[in-house]
Amino acid sequence: MKITQVEPITIRHRWGPSEDGAMRDWPIVLIHTSNGLVGLGRGGDPDLIREMSSLIVGEDPRRTSFLWQRMYDHIWRFRGPGQAGMSSIGAIDIALWDIYGKSCGEPVWRLLGGHGDSVEAYADGIGYQADLSPEVCASLVKKHAALGFDAVKFHLVDPNPVQALDMVRLSREAIGPDKKLMIDAHRMWTGEVAAEMARSLAPYDLYWIEEPVRADDETAYYRMVRAATTALVAGGEGEATIYGVRRLIIEGGIQVIQTDIIIGGGFTGLMRIAALANAHQVYIAPHGAQFPEINAHLVGAVPNGLMVSTTPDVEPNQIWSKLYSPPFEVLSGRIKLTEKPGLGLELDEDFVREFSVS
């Protein structure tokens, strides 16, 4: 079996309500083989994927580590391992593992390790709305919890500490003491401010505090937050390499690594990062509410896989389930891992045809 073609496709679809949502590109990649198998990946830069196709066409797609290293060496030599380069490797690598699973009749999560046959999902996506009040935030958190999720996260986009405290307080009151509540602070605060916020939020029993600190002195700032809270400190979604993750764990004391599975180089890259994290008693919960169907395979494969982010299908910016026929489902806050070979996904060809662009 050899790779015969690498086909990037860009889907353009609204992000947000249809009347005011911005159009956004959602790249996917299809890898075709000589025996008719086709692998599916998501993300990446279409131009870089076309450039790297010459590195893998003609090769056996099951040589995932060999092909990953060839692509990594290529982007390092010419561009370095930035997000565009690593996410393009990630998209291709995910498609290669899809082919690998299809070739031997096994799902990817089992080939990667098969630690668990289902994973917990948390509801994500609250907080991007314009002028979101603490009261509305809390009502949305309650709505997501009512869908069966035992963990809900919302995003802070205003650095105002009073508003942040009100959002957390009202959200905790709305869902009660037994649900996990998390916040994503989007690197808004210095270490001193973030540590003080962590202390102020302690009465509301946050499960994790995500990316609370600015990147200018990131590891020192993270250590301040770690010392100030009993909540887990999470971050690293934009760290593309194992070396950046190592720095966050060893120097910053992060307890939940959130490297994006696409930016981190696909399954091959994330398995290496997961092993590093596990050696330091650190969880992995990959960023990506718009690709839980990919993340679930990784989180279910490893012993330190924690949770999978997902945008509930009641939200207008949810697109990921529309890509597939039948739609991918998250039921009562859990993802039952597929027994179908590869990723277990079939593209909805009508949807792809309607929204793909040249």
User: Would you kindly state where each structural domain of the chain is located, as residue ranges?
Assistant: 3-107+347-357, 111-336
Choosing among 1.10.3470.10, 3.20.20.70, 3.20.20.120, 1.10.10.10, the CATH entry for 111-336 is 3.20.20.120
DSSP run (H or E) holding 181:
strand 180-184
The CATH code for residues 3-107+347-357 is: 3.30.390.10
Taking the CA of residue 193 as centre, how many other CA atoms within 13 Å lie in the half-sphere pointing to its CB?
14
State the residue for tokens 């910016």.
Answer: 317
Which of the 8 DSSP states describes residue 87?
H
189-208 burial, b for 16+ CB within 10 Å, e for fewer?
bebebbbbbbeebeebebbb
Residues 6 or more apart in contact with residue 199 via CB below 8 angstroms: 228, 229
The whole-number pLDDT of residue 23 equals 80
Which of the 8 DSSP states describes residue 323?
G
| Gap between the Cα atoms of 148 and 356, Å rounded | 33
Tens digit of each residue's pLDDT, the chain (358 residues):
999 999 999 998 876 555 556 788 889 999 999 999 999 999 999 999 999 999 999 999 999 999 999 999 998 876 677 778 999 999 999 999 999 999 999 999 999 999 999 999 999 989 887 789 999 999 999 999 999 999 999 999 888 899 999 999 999 999 999 999 999 999 999 999 999 999 999 999 999 999 999 999 999 999 999 999 999 999 999 999 999 999 999 999 999 999 999 999 999 999 999 999 999 999 999 999 989 999 999 999 999 999 999 988 656 556 777 889 998 889 999 999 999 999 999 999 999 999 999 6
The whole-number pLDDT of residue 19 equals 54
Helix residue spans in 26-160 (DSSP H): 46-56, 64-78, 83-104, 108-112, 134-146
